[in-house]
Amino acid sequence: MLELNLKNKFSLYCLYFKIFIKELVLNNIKHYVDYFRVNNLYSAYFIFIVDYKL
């Protein structure tokens, strides 16, 4: 159960990371932050925490 949960979180992280890279390439970081702020208050925070720990 825990392993599946971690796998799902990692999958979400990969998805968010791909979106982040896309926005980074487009040099539109503000849009990226605003997008996650509006759609999911915890998404951007989750990325930064995982990114920091990795």
Which pLDDT tens digits describe the chain residue by residue (54 residues)? 455 566 777 777 777 777 777 766 665 555 555 555 555 655 555 555 555 544
Q: What is the model's pTM?
A: 0.34
Contact 20, 14 (CB under 8 A): no
pLDDT score of 1? 47
**What is the token pair recorded at 20?**
């982040």
Contact 43, 13 (CB under 8 A): no
pLDDT score of 38? 56
